[in-house]
């Protein structure tokens, strides 16, 4: 009986197992979603995918239109705090952000923004009377609109100024909701971002190199008075500072060799000068201390010059240059040969610790004048007259007023000079001259100069101890190792006379006929 019961139970269990396998599909046949394979296995079927429980900001919306069309206004953009948990703290930070915009200057005649806001209350009743209003600095909040009644001795506070109005005491800030917010280098109001020493907003002073030196040449090459180049500051430089404590004068030229400050023997007033895409602050104190300062970055090379009137005590300069600019500048400089300045009367006694570029009279180091001239004479494209050295014919003389005016306008130098001596160097003639007076000089000229003529035929012919009116041009060779005054065969040369002197003084007015505008300065 017991065995029969066990057999029956075994059969029933076997039937149940077969029935379950037939009705319920296997796990390999179940179609599961990606969600079930992923998060269900991890968190269980009763949980949804995990979401951040923190309250977070949305992305910023687009900027609003600028509050002003010129003179500096403000634009605003907003973001919203996405609430996911009422118990969590609100999103940190501001929901509004302001940016300065339309910073270009307004056209002439456009009223000041505060004046515009005060004038909005003109001819509106106040205490039963009508007034016209102008801005008034009441000494209260920078962002309060205080206006003075014209013809009266009282002012009225009309409340806050409009957003985007410049703060009174801090012109690097704008008023927003009655508060003065400083402008960060990212143009965001209230931003803490600052420009580093390299001119990079939010930078770490790692993208540029510091250049610092002292110019120590004691006297100009002529041994008298004149301009000399201190250094060339490359384009891209920032935080430029140049300082001198002597009776000499600092001077500044742009990349076109045109003077901006203290040029052509004329001393400029201290102040701010726009040059090379930046503002240069020129300062001169009563104790003769002079300085140039510029924030930069510059968009062109600048030539720092000095006008000697006494012995140089040392001119200190420094600037910062981006590394990529610095590499390119070093490549450009490496193509130039080192050289030293040579004076017509004596060699320069003390060399500058900073290399100068393209002085007036230069000989490359370890290269004698004869060797230099032999190399230079191969430059037939630069000086066409060298082809005529073997043939001396009749000299061509400039005739007619029209040709005289044309040369005056086109040449780089027009001056009165006295010939000390002349000598033949290779296939050229070199005149040692004292510059008595300049009528026009597009480039610096010293009191004593070498004047070069590319022939040995005495064309033009100048005698020693005589004074002449000379029109010459500047000659710089392709390698920039040579920079000199060249008197070509067809150049204008006349013995000095009061008649010629009087004629030259007003000749610059006729240059407009040739589309040339020049600046003249007579020097005695």
> 301: closest CA among 372, 232, 227, 391?
232
Looking at residue 390, what is its pLDDT? 46
Identify the pLDDT of residue 483: 81
pLDDT of res. 406: 87
Structure tokens at 300: 């062109």
| Nearest Cα to Cα of residue 200 among 296, 84, 88 | 296
CB atoms under 10 Å from CB of 499, counted, come to 9
Listed by start position, the domains of the chain span 66-193, 208-326, 401-520
Q: Quickly list DSSP for 363-421.
A: EETT--HHHHHHHHTT-TTT-GGGGGTT---PPP---SHHHHHHHHHH-SEEEEEEEEE
Q: What is the pLDDT of residue 291?
A: 95
One DSSP character per residue, 307-372 reads EESS----EEEEEEEEHHHHHHHHHHHHTSPPEEEB-SSSB-SS--SS---S-SSEEETT--HHHH
- Residue 437's region, left for phi above 0, alpha for psi from -120 to 50, else beta, is beta
CATH architecture of 401-520: Beta Barrel (2.40)
| Closest among 200, 263, 206 to 229, alpha carbons compared | 263
Q: Would you state the pLDDT for residue 224?
A: 58
Q: For residue 273, what pLDDT is reported? A: 95
What whole-number distance in Å separates Cα of residue 239 and Cα of residue 318?
8
Q: Report residue 29 as tokens.
A: 């046949």
Q: Which pair of tokens denotes residue 120?
A: 């909005």
Whole-angstrom distance, CA of residue 131 vs CA of residue 121: 8
Pairing relationship of beta strands 271-275 and 144-149 according to DSSP bridges = unpaired
Of the CA atoms within 13 Å of residue 424, those in its CB half-sphere come to 8
Query: CA of 182: how far to CAs of 145, 296, 299, 490, in Å?
Result: 19, 21, 27, 63
Q: What is the pTM of this model?
A: 0.45
pLDDT in 10s for each residue of the chain, 524 residues: 545 555 565 566 665 555 555 544 443 344 444 433 444 444 444 455 455 567 889 999 999 999 889 988 899 999 999 888 787 888 888 899 999 999 888 888 888 899 999 999 998 998 888 999 999 987 778 899 999 999 888 999 999 999 889 887 555 789 999 899 998 989 999 888 888 888 788 888 888 889 999 998 887 665 557 788 899 999 889 999 999 998 899 999 998 888 999 988 888 999 999 999 999 999 998 887 899 999 888 999 999 999 888 888 999 999 999 887 655 555 444 433 333 333 333 333 333 333 333 333 333 333 333 333 333 443 434 444 444 444 676 777 788 888 888 888 888 999 999 999 888 888 888 999 988 888 888 888 888 888 999 888 888 889 998 999 999 998 887 766 678 899 988 889 999 988 888 888 777 777 876 666 554 444 44
Structure tokens at 204: 């770490």
Q: In the prediction, which pLDDT does 280 show?
A: 95
Task: For residues 482 and 363, give the distance between their C-alpha atoms in angstroms, rounded to a whole number.
Answer: 8
Architecture per CATH, domain 208-326, reads as Sandwich (2.60)
């Amino acid at each position: 009986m017991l065995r029969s019961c066990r057999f029956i139970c075994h059969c029933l269990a076997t039937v149940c197992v077969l029935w379950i396998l037939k009705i319920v599909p296997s796990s390999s046949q179940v179609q599961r979603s990606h969600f079930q394979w992923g998060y269900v296995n991890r968190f269980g079927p009763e949980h949804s995918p995990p979401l951040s429980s923190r309250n977070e900001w949305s992305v910023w919306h687009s900027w609003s239109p600028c509050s002003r069309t010129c003179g500096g206004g403000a634009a605003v953009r907003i973001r919203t705090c996405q609430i996911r948990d009422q118990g969590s703290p609100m999103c940190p930070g501001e929901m509004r952000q302001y940016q300065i915009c339309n910073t270009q200057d307004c056209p002439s005649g456009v009223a000041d923004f505060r004046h515009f806001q005060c004038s909005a209350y003109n001819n509106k009743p106040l205490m039963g009377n009508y007034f016209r209003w102008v801005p008034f600095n009441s000494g209260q909040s920078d962002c309060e609109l205080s206006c003075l009644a014209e013809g009266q001795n009282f002012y009225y506070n009309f409340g806050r100024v409009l957003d985007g109005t410049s703060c009174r005491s801090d012109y690097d800030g704008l008023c927003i909701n009655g508060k003065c917010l400083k402008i960060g280098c990212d143009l965001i109001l209230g931003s803490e971002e600052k420009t580093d020493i390299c001119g990079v907003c939010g930078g770490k002073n790692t993208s540029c190199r510091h250049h610092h030196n002292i110019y120590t040449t004691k006297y100009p090459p002529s041994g008298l008075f004149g301009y000399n180049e201190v250094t060339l500051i490359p384009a891209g430089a920032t935080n430029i500072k140049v300082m001198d404590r002597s009776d000499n004068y600092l001077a500044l030229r742009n990349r076109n060799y045109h003077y901006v400050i203290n040029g052509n023997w004329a001393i400029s007033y201290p102040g701010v000068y726009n040059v090379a895409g930046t503002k240069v602050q020129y300062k001169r104190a009563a104790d003769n201390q002079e300085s140039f300062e510029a924030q930069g970055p510059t968009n062109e090379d600048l030539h720092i010059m000095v006008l000697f009137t006494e012995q140089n005590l040392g001119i200190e300069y420094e600037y910062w240059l981006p590394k990529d600019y610095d590499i390119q500048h070093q490549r450009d400089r490496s193509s130039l040969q080192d050289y030293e300045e040579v004076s017509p009367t004596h060699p320069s006694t003390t060399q500058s610790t900073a290399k100068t570029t393209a002085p007036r009279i230069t000989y490359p180091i370890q290269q004698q004048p004869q060797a230099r001239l032999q190399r230079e004479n191969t430059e037939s494209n630069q000086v066409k007259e060298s082809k005529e050295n073997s043939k001396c014919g009749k000299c061509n003389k400039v005739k007619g007023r029209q040709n005289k005016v044309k040369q005056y306008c086109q040449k780089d130098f027009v001056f009165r000079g006295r010939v000390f001596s002349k000598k033949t160097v290779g296939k050229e003639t070199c005149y040692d001259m004292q510059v008595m007076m300049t009528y026009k000089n597009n480039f610096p000229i010293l009191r004593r100069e070498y004047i070069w003529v590319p022939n040995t035929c005495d064309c033009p012919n100048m005698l020693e101890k005589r004074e002449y009116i000379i029109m010459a041009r500047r000659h710089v060779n392709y390698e920039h190792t040579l920079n000199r005054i060249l008197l070509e065969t067809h150049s204008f040369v006349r013995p000095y006379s009061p008649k010629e002197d009087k004629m030259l003084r007003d000749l610059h007015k006729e240059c407009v006929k040739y589309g040339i505008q020049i600046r003249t300065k007579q020097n005695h």
